[in-house]
Copies of this chain bind each other. A is one copy, B any other.
Amino acid sequence: MVVAALSDRSTEMSEIETAFKGEKVLITGGLGFIGSNLAYRLVDLQAKVSIVDCLLPQAGGNLFNVHDIKDRINVTFADIRDTEAMNERVIGQDYIFNLAAQLSHVDSLTDPFTDLDINCRGHLTLLQACQKYNPDVKIIYAGTRSQYGKIEYIPVDEQHPVNPTDTNGISKHAAEQYHILYNNLYGIKATSLRLTNTYGPRHQMKHSRQGFLNWFLRLAMDAQTIKIFGNGKQIRDFNYVDDVVEAMLMAAVNDKANGEVFNLGGSTSNLIDLVRLIIKVTGTGAFELMPFPEEHKRIEIGDYIANHNKIEKILGWQPKVSLEEGISKTVSFYRQCRSEYWDTEQ
Contact = CB atoms under 8 A, between A and B. Distances in A.
Interface string A167-208: 100110110011011001100000000000000000000000
A162 interface: yes
B120 A124 contact: no
Size category of the binding interface on chain A:
20 to 34
A181 B177 contact: no
Interface in A1-38: 1
Interface of A: 1, 109, 112-113, 116-117, 120-121, 124, 128, 159, 161-167, 170-171, 173-174, 177-178, 180-181, 184-185, 298-299
B124 A113 contact: yes
A109 B174 contact: no
B161 A1 contact: yes
B128 A120 contact: no
Q: For the complex, would chain A's binding face be called helix, strand, loop or mixed by DSSP majority? A: helix
A163 B120 CA distance: 16
A205 to B, nearest CB: 29
B298 A174 contact: no
Copies in the complex: 2
A181 B174 contact: no
Given A159-B161, A174-B171, A120 B109 contact: no
Contacts of A164: 177, 181
A180 B162 contact: no
B128 A121 contact: no
A174 B124 CA distance: 14
Contact of A180 (B159, B163, B171, B185): B163
| A161, A165, A167, A181 pick with most chain B CB within 10 angstroms | A181
A16 B217 CA distance: 58
A165 B184 contact: yes
A113 B109 contact: no
| A165, A173, A177 pick with most chain B CB within 10 angstroms | A177
Contacts of A177: 163-164, 170, 173
A113 B164 CA distance: 23
A299 B182 CA distance: 12
B161 A170 contact: no
A124 B117 CA distance: 11
Contact of A124 (B116, B159, B299): B116
A299 B181 CA distance: 10
A109 B171 CA distance: 19
Contacts of A170: 174, 177-178, 181
A190 to B, nearest CB: 14
Nearest to A117: B121
Contacts of A163: 1, 177, 180
A197 B159 CA distance: 27
Contacts of A1: 161, 163
8 contacts: A113-B124, A165-B184, A167-B178, A167-B181, A170-B181, A173-B177, A174-B174, A184-B298
A162 B165 contact: no
Given A162-B162, A167-B178, A185 B109 contact: yes
Contacts of A113: 121, 124, 128
B112 A124 contact: yes
Nearest to A115: B124
A102 to B, nearest CB: 14
